[in-house]
Structure 1
Amino acid sequence: MSSVSIIGVGNMASTLATRAVAGGNSVEIIGRDQAKTKELTASLGGATAGTVGTVPAGDIVILAVPYASAAAVVSEYGAALAGKVIIDISNTFNADATGLVTPDGTSGAQEIAKAAPASAHVVKAFNTIFGHVLAQGHPLDVFFAGDDAEAKATVSAFIESLGLRPFDVGGLEMAHWLEGMGPVLMGLARNGAGTFDVALGVSILS
């Protein structure tokens, strides 16, 4: 199992932490709001509370913060993230979820990678799943992208520990398209599916 530090105390952080603990992973919660951090840690039973700005205990660091602040958070930690696998779960769609705020040819994950130490490896994952759907415990498909094979293998094993099915879509440049799936998922929920209790998945036909 994995050693995981989650930066953030929002709904997605809580959901991932819950599934991570249930999957037998070692979990550290790091949040600026100490009251929320302690509350979340206590509710998980077995997780620990970390300190903002210090070296995260986990080999995997899940960046569970909004895209607008994600790169700044990584810059703030600086060398403390050296050698870590950083999972970026953020979405980069605009206010009405009809497009992306990032320019063509790049992604939020790539911008985060620029802010990270050279020895850290950013992997995009989990942004194509609604948090409330993830909390329901379904065996969902998780798409991920990254440039380092070892880092992706680490993330794939972690995803499996959550009872989910990992799908590698390629290098970190593919994060742009994973982030583009956010508006697609929102559009599907608002229109064709007619519900936000929906998830994207893969059917392998033999």
Structure 2
Amino acid sequence: MSAVTIFGKGNMGTAIKSVFEDAGATIQALDSHDENPTIQGDIVVLAVPYPALASIAKQYGDQLAGKTVVDITNPLDFSTFDSLVVPADSSAAAELQKLLPQSHVLKAFNTVFAANIASKKTGDAQSTVLVAGDDANAKDAFIDLVKAGGLNAIDAGTLKRARELEAVGFLQLALAVQKKISFTAGFAIYQ
């Protein structure tokens, strides 16, 4: 049985928790009020705003060594919704991997709204989680767990692909904020 730790109890953290519960995983849910917890999961999902990644890496870096760490953030400039705030040749996930060199960082869940994770549907299609990362074993185990929880999951390539996943997430959020799509809309993949 998999053990998953989720940092964040907001909409995304709650929706992701439900997927992993459906997969039969043991869940540890943490938020900023938990003081110095011991991380129990072999998979650690960071369902937090992008600015929190660096402080989590600094505070829990030793505990995250050897673990699969999943970055779900979209590093947007939330004051303008007009750009990403990471270097043009990088991504939030790549920057996190630099901070956690002993961890297996994956990018996932950032292209699917919380409602579509919870319902497991995007329109009439099964919601799909695109996953990027450099460690094939960590990625395969994570994809298997996501699928066991009722979502589709596709290996999107190496961690370099996180930049494109963040661009898709950025576009989707920008459209929703401008009310051109709803927060239950999204990009669907039909196979």
TM-score of the alignment, normalized to the shorter chain, above 0.5: yes
Question: Would you say the 8 A contact 1:54–1:77 is kept in 2?
Answer: no
AA aligned opposite 1:59 = D
Which residue is equivalent to 2:65? 82
Residue of structure 2 aligned with 1:158, choices 145, 148, 172: 145
Question: Would you say the 8 A contact 1:90–1:108 is kept in 2?
Answer: yes
Question: Would you say the 8 A contact 2:176–2:183 is kept in 1?
Answer: yes
State the shift of 1:119 in Å: 2.7
- Once the two structures are superposed, residues 4-53 of structure 1 have per-residue CA deviations (whole angstroms, 9 ceiling, x without a partner) of 0111222211111122112211111122325xxxxxxxxxxxxxxxxx43
State the shift of 1:162 in Å: 1.8
In structure 2, C-alpha distance between the alignment counterparts of 1:31 and 1:120, rounded to whole Å? 21
State the shift of 1:193 in Å: 5.8
Does structure 1 residue 110 correspond to structure 2 residue 110? Answer: no
Per the alignment, in what secondary structure is the counterpart of residue 93 of structure 1?
Answer: coil
State the shift of 1:137 in Å: 3.3
AA aligned opposite 1:159 = V
Which residue is equivalent to 1:42? none
Residue of structure 2 aligned with 1:132, choices 115, 119, 126: 115
Once superposed, which parts of structure 1, at least 4 consecutive aligned residues long, lie more than 3 Å away? 52-55, 187-194
Question: Would you say the 8 A contact 2:120–2:151 is kept in 1?
Answer: no
Does structure 1 residue 198 correspond to structure 2 residue 185? Answer: yes
Which stretches in structure 2 are left out of the alignment for 5+ residues? none
In structure 1, C-alpha distance between the alignment counterparts of 2:7 and 2:174, rounded to whole Å? 29
In structure 1, C-alpha distance between the alignment counterparts of 2:88 and 2:128, rounded to whole Å? 26
AA aligned opposite 1:172 = L
Larger radius of gyration: 1
Which stretches in structure 1 are left out of the alignment for 5+ residues? 35-51
Does structure 1 residue 17 correspond to structure 2 residue 17? Answer: yes
- Once the two structures are superposed, residues 154-186 of structure 1 have per-residue CA deviations (whole angstroms, 9 ceiling, x without a partner) of 111121122111111111111111001122213
Which residue is equivalent to 1:100? 84
Question: Would you say the 8 A contact 1:54–1:80 is kept in 2?
Answer: no
Question: Would you say the 8 A contact 2:74–2:170 is kept in 1?
Answer: no
The structure whose RCO (Cα within 8 Å, separation 6+) is larger is 2
AA aligned opposite 2:88 = D
State the shift of 1:88 in Å: 0.5
The TM-score, its normalising length taken from structure 1, stands at 0.83
Identical pairs, percent? 34
RMSD: 1.9
State the shift of 1:201 in Å: 2.2
